[in-house]
Amino acid sequence: MRPLKAGIVGGSLAGLFSAILLQMDGHDVTVYERSARGLAGRGAGLVGQRDLFRVLRAIGCEHVARIGVVAKERIYFDANGDVSERLATPQTQISWDYLYSTVASKLHLQTYIVDNAVTRVEEQDEYASLTFSDGRTESFDLVLGADGLASIVRGAVNEETTNRFAGYVAWRGLIPEGDLPPGASILLDRFAFYVTRGIHVLGYLVPGPKGEMEPGSRRYNWVWYRPVSMAGLPDVFTGKSGKVYEYSLPRGELSSDRRGALVEDAKTVLPPPFALAIEAEPFSFIQGIFDYQSTRLVSKHVALIGDAAFVVRPHTAMGVAKAAGDALALRAAIARYENLQGALAEYERERLPVGNEIALYGQRLGASAL
C-alpha cells in the first residue's frame, strides 16, 4: 500500500506498538498523547505473553522480556495466615515502566506529541480528522483509537461506547520491597493469594521503576478486589480534593480516614502478611473494573486497538498482550492489501473474535474471583 498518513490517539502501549510497526513500514505516523509528561513511572508489572514477545522481537526490544522478577511458586493462604496450598508454577513479572520507556525510545521523538488531547474525531469519504484541545484540526488517511478505557475514538466506529461496571473495584498498592515489614516476608519471591467468599487479594514482586531486579530495589504490588454497588461507585471514586473520578481513584487522592478504614478492614479480614503489606502503602489507589466489547473495530478511515476496542479484566493479565496482537495484525493487514478498506476489514475479521474471547474469559474469571 502507498505510505499512509496516520494519526494515533493515545501514546500508551497499544499506540506505541502500532506507531513503531507502521513507521518501520514507511508510513507517516504521529502519536498524540494527552498526558503532559508521558506515562513514565506510573505503571507496575505485567506477565509476558506470546504476542508481547512477538511484538518486542519485531521492534528490536526483545531484551525487555528478560528484565523481570521471577515468582518461583504460587501460595494460597487460609484465614489464619497459614499456607494451605503451594503450586510450583514459576512466573516472570516484567516492569510496565521499563517496557513503556524502552518501547517509546524506538519511536522518532518528534512523532510522539504529549500534552495533546484529542477532543473530536470526524470521518469523511476521503479522510478522518482529529480536533485537539487547542482547537486545531488535522486530517489523516487513517486514525487509530489507542485511547484506552475512556476512548473518544470509539464513537466514530461503535454506537454503544459505554463501559459496563463489573460490580467490584481493585484497591491497589505498590511499595518498595524494603517497606514490607518482616512479618510479611513470606510474600516475597512468590505469587501469593487469599481467596474466600467475597474476598480476593493477591500480590507479587515487580521490578523497580527502571527495571531494577536486585533484591532490595524491587517493588511489591498488591491488589485487593472488593465488591461495590453501582450506586456506591461515586463515593468510592471521590478524592480528598472533592473531585469525583469516573473510572478510578488516583494515587494521592485517598483521604487519611479512608486509608485508616482500609487498614482496619485488612487487619479484620485478611491473613496477617497481606494486612501488613496493605498497611505499608501510604497512598493506596483504586481501579474500577469495567467491561467493554466493541461490535465493530473499524470504519472507513478509523480503527480501534487495545483497550479502546476491548476492556479486558485484569485477572486475564492479557491487556498488554492483546494490544500487541492488535498492532501486529493491523500492520500485517496494511502490508498485505493495496487498499485501506480491504486492510481494515481483514484486521477486524481477525481481531474481533480474539477480543471477544479474551473479554469473555476475563468475565468468567471475574465471576469466580469474588
Q: Is 94 in the site for ligand FAD (CB under 6 A)?
A: no
Q: Which of 7, 45, 207, 271 binds ligand FAD (CB under 6 A)?
A: 45
- Cα–Cα distance between 108 and 134 in angstroms, integer? 23
- Cα–Cα distance between 265 and 260 in angstroms, integer? 9
Closest CA to 333 of 354, 319, 350: 350
- Cα–Cα distance between 58 and 63 in angstroms, integer? 12
Question: Any idea what the Cα angle at residue 119 is, between residues 115 and 120, rounded to 5°?
Answer: 140
Q: Is 112 in the site for ligand FAD (CB under 6 A)?
A: no
Sign of CA dihedral 156, 157, 159, 162: negative
Q: Is 111 in the site for ligand FAD (CB under 6 A)?
A: no
Q: How many CA within 13 A on the CB side of residue 329?
A: 25
Q: Is 358 in the site for ligand FAD (CB under 6 A)?
A: no
Exposure letters 265-302 (e unless 16+ CB within 10 A, then b): ebeebbbbbbbbbbbbbeebbbbbbbbbbbebbbbbbb
Residue nearest ligand FAD, Cβ-based: 306
Q: Is 10 in the site for ligand FAD (CB under 6 A)?
A: yes
User: Which residue's CB is nearer to ligand FAD, number 39 or number 275?
Assistant: 39
Least distance between ligand FAD and beta carbon 206 (Å): 7
Number of residues that bind ligand FAD (CB under 6 A): 32
User: Which residue's CB is nearer to ligand FAD, number 217 or number 287?
Assistant: 287
Q: Is 32 in the site for ligand FAD (CB under 6 A)?
A: yes
For the purposes of burial, counting CB atoms within 10 Å of the CB of 217, is it exposed (0-12), middle (13-18) or buried (19 or more)?
Answer: middle
Q: Which of 6, 9, 192, 205 binds ligand FAD (CB under 6 A)?
A: 9
Least distance between ligand FAD and beta carbon 82 (Å): 30
Q: Which of 35, 92, 238, 287 binds ligand FAD (CB under 6 A)?
A: 35
Least distance between ligand FAD and beta carbon 323 (Å): 4
Q: Is 117 in the site for ligand FAD (CB under 6 A)?
A: yes
Which one of 50-58, 68-76, 141-149, 276-284 is the stretch in contact with ligand FAD (CB under 6 A)? 141-149
Cα pseudo-dihedral 355, 360, 365, 368, rounded to 10: 170
> Could you tell me if 60 and 106 are in contact, meaning their C-beta atoms sit under 8 angstroms apart?
yes
Q: Which of 118, 205, 280, 304 binds ligand FAD (CB under 6 A)?
A: 118
Q: Which of 22, 44, 128, 340 binds ligand FAD (CB under 6 A)?
A: 44
Closest CA to 132 of 118, 150, 114: 118
Q: Which of 11, 203, 325, 362 binds ligand FAD (CB under 6 A)?
A: 11
User: Which residue's CB is nearer to ligand FAD, number 275 or number 302?
Assistant: 302
Q: Which of 6, 7, 12, 121 binds ligand FAD (CB under 6 A)?
A: 12
Which one of 9-17, 194-202, 210-218, 281-289 is the stretch in contact with ligand FAD (CB under 6 A)? 9-17
- Which residues in the 166-205 window bind ligand FAD by CB under 6 A? none
Q: Which of 48, 208, 306, 325 binds ligand FAD (CB under 6 A)?
A: 306
Q: Which of 43, 173, 208, 366 binds ligand FAD (CB under 6 A)?
A: 43
How far from the centroid of its chain's Cα atoms is residue 60's Cα?
Answer: 22
Least distance between ligand FAD and beta carbon 321 (Å): 9
Contacts to ligand FAD by CB under 6 A: 9-15, 32-35, 39, 42-46, 96, 117-118, 146-150, 152, 306-308, 319-320, 323
